[in-house]
Structure 1
Amino acid sequence: MYRTHTCGELRSAQIGQTVTLAGWVQTLRKFGSITFIDLRDRYGITQLLFGESLNKALADNPLGREFVVQVKGEVTGRTSKNPQLPTGDIEITVQSFTILNKAVTPPFTIQDDTDGGDDLRMKYRFLDLRRPAVRKNLELRYAVNRAARNYLHENHFMDLETPFLIKSTPEGARDFVVPSRMNPGQFYALPQSPQTFKQLLMVSGYDRYYQIVKCFRDEDLRADRQPEFTQIDCEMSFVEQEDILSMFEGMVKYIFKTVKNIDYTDVLQRITWEEAMWQYGNDKPDIRFGMKLLNLKSAFTKGGVIVAKGELINGAGFGVFDNAETVLAIAVPGCSEYTRKQTDELTEWIKRPQIGMQGLVYIKYNTDGTLKSSVDKFYNEEKLKAIAAAAEAKPGDLILVLAGREERTRKAMSELRLEMGRRLGLRREDEFKLLWVLDFPLFEYAEEENRWVARHHPFTSPKPSDVEVMIANSPLIENPEKYLEHPYNHIKANAYDMVLNGNEIGGGSIRIYQRELQEKMFAALGMTQEEALHKFGFLLGAFEYGAPPHGGIAFGFDRLCAILGGSESIRDFIAFPKNNSGRDVMLDAPSTIDEKQLKELSIQLDTSGRDSL
């Protein structure tokens, strides 16, 4: 054995024992005739004391940072204890040492507050993984993985593997494709999810399935996206929506307790997709704080009387409001004392290209009850008070108002709400709020393609009350300008998303399991019968052999780990991630392949550098 103990386990109880440790040299500190070395392994750090005699040996065989060494010595109490380390009460008085492997000076310091930038650490990821902060992230990832598996096992789910080399069915995100040498001119695709396989497993009678599985999507990347990512993928038979929600609320609460020691006892809030869009501006609302969006041009009920909010803002000669498709407001608590400089800075913030608004209106509801706004020229105090009342503002609040086209304004106000929540410290990393978003639209109309597309995927079932509506109607082709009036526009999906702190961490649906309804869905998406059979004939055929009612959900495993670890990027919780261009800079991948491989795959590259057969 190279070691009798790890670098993280020795305590005062072992004082007087002779032990052998092995690990990496973290730091060296020379003090006259003695040297202190911090020895590091996966489990922690132990301080080594090289006395006068061994200090001379160090002169002949000097150690450097990241050298791999083995030491033998006696556990002794430290004169100067370090309460920051679990091993801080002891040190090893070294009796002998062996250099197992030398190391060149690393390109950055192997410590939490490293001097290495992102690109450098990605290039030398095998060194970055030695840093304690990165190791803790991967330890958390493992803990989440283990907790999910334990919960699912206890609830009779089977871990069943599905293939990685499958058939390409381009619908939604782009596939990664793999050429087949044995079948020239033909390609596999890497799965975006195991969707059809898990449905086939339900047809096969394996009524509780799961995988913690790699998925692949060739799409533009952000901090929370990778070309290859991991899902907790689950499916159940003979269930309705309520069964799925109950089962997987239980799983997430179990993970919270096991990994974070948090007893999540709150009842999960449930809101519809429409409520989410109008109250928060997006379908994954962060409910750690309020500041709900209020539409100042819609109707609302007050004292049992329908009042048009538009009457509060229209007709004052302020064209920005009068001519806008929508006017949205939020009441920001405790910010009525914002200075002109601060409101100007907010105005510049919402004018950025990624937000895209032309301007911002503010109303200060002062603590003494008076109001001051950037539109005093158009609205007297009585009108401002009516607007403040409609916005449900209180003295001390700052009311922020955006106006314009409905979709853009809603998105911009959603971003502004989140930004104000961040600035006010309301989006705390150590607070966790879960909710379900339900009743999504089943379809959305792609005007540029003149066809309906599935909002989730083409295997999602409509709500039971909408099944007959879907079967009875044909897809709109002749009059695309009438799509808002078409019944498809009002069909709800039997689908659900779980949201945590403003991030979708899981989504799923009750599936279509009858051939007639599945064929109707494919037709609604513009597929001919021949195309549907070519792409999904195996699934349609399986439905004729007794497919049970079934549904499931998939959790974004990387994202769940990142949120639990207090990070905005899933890259921090993946051992070997890609950068924002989808490249592995450590391996230099993707890369070209040689002519022999291209010839074997029947692939010829054109002169522009783009692949073609």
Structure 2
Amino acid sequence: MHRYRSHTCGELRASDVGTDVRLSGWLHNRRDLGGILFIDLRDHYGITQLVARPGTPAYEALDKLTKESVVRVDGKVVSRGAENVNAELPTGEVEVEVAEVEILGAAKQIPFTINADDGVNEERRLEYRFLDLRRERMHRNIMLRSAVIAAIRSKMVALGFNEMATPILTATSPEGARDFVVPSRLNPGKFYALPQAPQQFKQLFMISGFDRYFQIAPCFRDEDARADRSPGEFYQLDVEMSFVEQEDVFQPIEKLMTELFQEFGGGREVTSPFPRIPFRESMLKYGNDKPDLRTDLELVDLTDVFADSGFKAFAGKHVRALAVPDTADQPRKFFDSLGDYAVSLGAKGLAWVRVGEGNALTGPIAKFLTEDDVKVLTERLGLAPGHAVFFGAGEFDEVSKIMGPVRVEAAKRAGRFEENVFRFAWIVDFPMYEKDEETGKIDFSHNPFSMPQGGLEALETKDPLDVLGWQYDIVCNGIELSSGAIRNHEPDIMFKAFEIAGYSRETVESEFAGMLRAFQYGAPPHGGIAPGVDRIVMLLADEPNIRETIAFPLNGNAQDLMMGAPTELDETRLRELNIQLRKPVEKAAPKTDDRPVSEAVHPDAAR
């Protein structure tokens, strides 16, 4: 018999009754019923119940052990009997009568419960992550992640892509989030950077004559945490293709995502095909460029209706309305609580009206609406008795920030929100540029390396704010899973695109010398995308926080509480690296949620 086990703890069945077996695992739980010990023994594969009878050496050994100790047991498989079968366990028809016990690894008193959720805080869980990962939910999430990545690799190869590796030590990136830098001992005073994404290298693969590249790529960004973004490092499915237009990228990626979510989504419905929603339409209808399509409610622009209105709260402002059917008879608390939710997002309040018989309007602002206003509202919003209408007014971005979440929250409270589905969409036609409202400066709005729609002619003849890029995102259930673009592979277009954003030719040549040099030696049209692996698994696992799907994540302050990173270096090591420290003035650390978010302009920036 094997030194540690003849079977795993998830393997024994009724057909094994009468067999002598050897199992090894963790002491998951222990119950003393009438002097008989019942032990749940756990390993990677499952749980088997052990039985130890009083007066036996096995009883004495198991009775004294702390939970989570590792043991090897020898014994005989016996039937539980029909009345004692545990239908929730694959091994629930049998148990093992223990004859011999060997302690392989005794455990100290554990700092929190493994076999149940005891509400321990995240910091404690991350400090003892090796224990946290023993919990069933966490173990399941990590195995799901493993299976998803294996499936991605298999499906990408089947789609004709080739897996290739790109460097981890590279040059600093002038755009996007902050780099993590690595000092070079052999080149004093100089630094490598960990890649924010393999962007330039995957484009160089295309220029080098390869055609369909992919990689499960680690990416590193020194930025703050959010529920759907892990600080420090993350993984993405990095993809690039040669001789393609936008639809050529969409076809294999949409097939991949559909199959992944059908395979691992637990039977939840998956959108197919993915709708294409232009960026500006998304902003108007949904309040953001990451629309949650689990509700069919849409915002409607009414700015023109109230442009010259006598209602001062709306006059001269951007106004959008949300009509919610079958809610007019809701109690006042429904409307007030939704208003409180809007206030929590930064609004001063939330205007609303009810639609009654004959489409008569009632509510706090009904008296300020003229007959013409009501007529237009009825037509634009498709109003009918039973509707409630919520209004947001202010600057465009301010209204979007408030009414986008209000749309989703109202749908949930009104019972017009789909659960247990995956609603995908492509967001397309992003503007190449935006204007800084404070400085008036034109800057890139999304991805500086994408091809403008219309090419050089568009850059030379159009208002920069009207130029669209061949840029696209994948969104699922209100979460951005990926960004991508058809790349700008022509130097003249690249120089002009950056010139509009205020970059001199010399700056572009200095910052992107490698790419520019490559473009001058015959670059094919190419494009790509990079879905975030962490976010994909987060959605499939139905977890609200991305750290629940990463084995060893950093906490919200970008610290590894288990390993104690980041660490200080002693003077000898600093001298060897030619580094002299200049520490900042001590000040209180801000709360994670209050920190400014460093949004990457870097291509393919989803996690």
TM exceeding 0.5: yes
Aligned residue among 308, 312, 319 for 1:319: 312
Counterpart check, 1:461 vs 2:451? yes
Aligned residue among 242, 250, 258 for 1:245: 250
Counterpart check, 1:282 vs 2:271? no
Shift of 1:428: 4.5
SS in 2 for 1:552: strand
Q: 1:419 to 1:188 in 2, by over 3 A?
A: same
Q: Find the aligned partners of 1:503 and 1:94 in 2 and give their Cα distance.
A: 50
Q: Find the aligned partners of 2:428 and 2:369 in 1 and give their Cα distance.
A: 39
Shift of 1:386: 4.6
Q: 1:421 to 1:598 in 2, by over 3 A?
A: farther
Structure-2 residue corresponding to 1:420:
410
Counterpart check, 1:169 vs 2:169? no
Structure-2 residue corresponding to 1:512:
488
Deviations 1:478-522 (A, max 9, x none): xxxxxxxx6211111011111111111122111111222222233
Shift of 1:367: 6.9
Structure-2 residue corresponding to 1:306:
none
Structure-2 residue corresponding to 1:29:
31
Q: Find the aligned partners of 2:182 and 2:415 in 1 and give their Cα distance.
A: 47
Structure-2 residue corresponding to 1:502:
478
Q: Find the aligned partners of 1:338 and 1:238 in 2 and give their Cα distance.
A: 56
Assess if the C-alpha contact under 8 Å between 2:58 and 2:101 holds in 1. no
Structure-2 residue corresponding to 1:407:
397
SS in 2 for 1:52: coil
Counterpart check, 1:231 vs 2:236? yes
Shift of 1:117: 1.7
Q: 1:424 to 1:109 in 2, by over 3 A?
A: farther
Deviations 1:199-227 (A, max 9, x none): 00001111111110111111222111112
Shift of 1:285: 0.7
Q: Find the aligned partners of 1:78 and 1:99 in 2 and give their Cα distance.
A: 26
Counterpart check, 1:254 vs 2:256? no
Q: Find the aligned partners of 2:372 and 2:402 in 1 and give their Cα distance.
A: 28
Assess if the C-alpha contact under 8 Å between 2:152 and 2:256 holds in 1. yes
Assess if the C-alpha contact under 8 Å between 1:507 and 1:554 holds in 2. yes
Assess if the C-alpha contact under 8 Å between 1:122 and 1:585 holds in 2. yes
Q: How do 1:99-114 residues align onto structure 2 when only pairs under 5 Å count?
A: 99-114=103-118
Shift of 1:174: 1.4
SS in 1 for 2:41: strand
Shift of 1:114: 2.9
Assess if the C-alpha contact under 8 Å between 2:270 and 2:423 holds in 1. no
Q: 1:525 to 1:49 in 2, by over 3 A?
A: same
| Unaligned 5+ runs, structure 2 | 587-607
Q: 1:341 to 1:43 in 2, by over 3 A?
A: same
Shift of 1:32: 3.0
Shift of 1:454: 2.5
Count of residues in correspondence between the two structures? 580
Q: Find the aligned partners of 1:63 and 1:421 in 2 and give their Cα distance.
A: 52
Q: 1:60 to 1:195 in 2, by over 3 A?
A: closer
Shift of 1:331: 1.2
Q: Find the aligned partners of 1:237 and 1:50 in 2 and give their Cα distance.
A: 65
Aligned residue among 340, 343, 351 for 1:348: 340
Structure-2 residue corresponding to 1:482:
none
- Residue 279 of structure 1 aligns with an amino acid whose one-letter code is K
Counterpart check, 1:604 vs 2:580? yes
Q: 1:141 to 1:434 in 2, by over 3 A?
A: same
Assess if the C-alpha contact under 8 Å between 1:371 and 1:381 holds in 2. no
Aligned residue among 180, 190, 193 for 1:189: 193
Shift of 1:319: 0.9
Aligned residue among 293, 300, 303 for 2:299: 293
Shift of 1:382: 7.7
Shift of 1:12: 1.4
Q: Find the aligned partners of 2:226 and 2:563 in 1 and give their Cα distance.
A: 21
Q: Find the aligned partners of 1:40 and 1:63 in 2 and give their Cα distance.
A: 15
Q: How do 1:513-552 residues align onto structure 2 when only pairs under 5 Å count?
A: 513-552=489-528
Shift of 1:65: 0.3
Shift of 1:447: 5.0
Shift of 1:607: 5.4
Q: 1:100 to 1:384 in 2, by over 3 A?
A: same
Structure-1 residue corresponding to 2:68:
66
Assess if the C-alpha contact under 8 Å between 2:52 and 2:58 holds in 1. no
SS in 2 for 1:377: helix
Aligned residue among 552, 555, 573 for 2:549: 573
Assess if the C-alpha contact under 8 Å between 1:112 and 1:133 holds in 2. no
Aligned residue among 205, 208, 228 for 2:212: 208
Deviations 1:148-196 (A, max 9, x none): 1111111221111111111112212111111112111111111111000
Deviations 1:249-271 (A, max 9, x none): 11111212332365747221111
- Residue 392 of structure 1 aligns with an amino acid whose one-letter code is G
- Residue 344 of structure 1 aligns with an amino acid whose one-letter code is D
- Aligned identity (percent) is 42
Mean CA deviation greater in 560-569 or 447-456? 447-456
Structure-2 residue corresponding to 1:81:
85
Aligned residue among 326, 330, 338 for 1:334: 326
Q: Find the aligned partners of 1:310 and 1:451 in 2 and give their Cα distance.
A: 30
Q: 1:609 to 1:586 in 2, by over 3 A?
A: farther
Deviations 1:418-469 (A, max 9, x none): 2223334555452111111111011223355664332333221111x24312
Q: Find the aligned partners of 1:334 and 1:15 in 2 and give their Cα distance.
A: 60
Q: 1:137 to 1:158 in 2, by over 3 A?
A: same
- Residue 320 of structure 1 aligns with an amino acid whose one-letter code is A
Q: Find the aligned partners of 2:99 and 2:288 in 1 and give their Cα distance.
A: 64
Shift of 1:345: 2.4
The one of the two structures with greater contact order (alpha-carbon pairs below 8 A, sep at least 6) is 2
Shift of 1:134: 0.4
SS in 2 for 1:223: coil
- Residue 315 of structure 2 aligns with an amino acid whose one-letter code is D
- Residue 339 of structure 2 aligns with an amino acid whose one-letter code is T
- Residue 84 of structure 1 aligns with an amino acid whose one-letter code is E
Shift of 1:557: 0.9
Q: Find the aligned partners of 1:427 and 1:45 in 2 and give their Cα distance.
A: 38
Instruction: Give the TM-score taking structure 2 as reference length.
Output: 0.91
SS in 1 for 2:386: coil
Assess if the C-alpha contact under 8 Å between 2:188 and 2:577 holds in 1. yes
Q: 1:129 to 1:174 in 2, by over 3 A?
A: same
Structure-2 residue corresponding to 1:481:
none
Q: Find the aligned partners of 2:382 and 2:444 in 1 and give their Cα distance.
A: 37
Q: Find the aligned partners of 2:135 and 2:419 in 1 and give their Cα distance.
A: 22
Q: 1:181 to 1:374 in 2, by over 3 A?
A: same
Q: 1:347 to 1:537 in 2, by over 3 A?
A: same
Assess if the C-alpha contact under 8 Å between 2:58 and 2:98 holds in 1. no
- Residue 297 of structure 1 aligns with an amino acid whose one-letter code is T
Q: Find the aligned partners of 1:469 and 1:405 in 2 and give their Cα distance.
A: 29
Shift of 1:523: 2.7
Counterpart check, 1:375 vs 2:380? no
Deviations 1:329-362 (A, max 9, x none): 101232212322332222222222xx22212111
Shift of 1:569: 1.3
- Residue 213 of structure 1 aligns with an amino acid whose one-letter code is A
- Residue 458 of structure 2 aligns with an amino acid whose one-letter code is V
| Unaligned 5+ runs, structure 1 | 299-308, 474-485
SS in 1 for 2:421: coil
Q: Find the aligned partners of 1:537 and 1:144 in 2 and give their Cα distance.
A: 37
Q: Find the aligned partners of 1:190 and 1:60 in 2 and give their Cα distance.
A: 49
Q: Find the aligned partners of 2:450 and 2:508 in 1 and give their Cα distance.
A: 16
Q: 1:424 to 1:85 in 2, by over 3 A?
A: farther
- Residue 312 of structure 2 aligns with an amino acid whose one-letter code is G
Q: Find the aligned partners of 2:370 and 2:91 in 1 and give their Cα distance.
A: 68
Alpha-carbon RMSD across the aligned residues, in angstroms, is 2.2
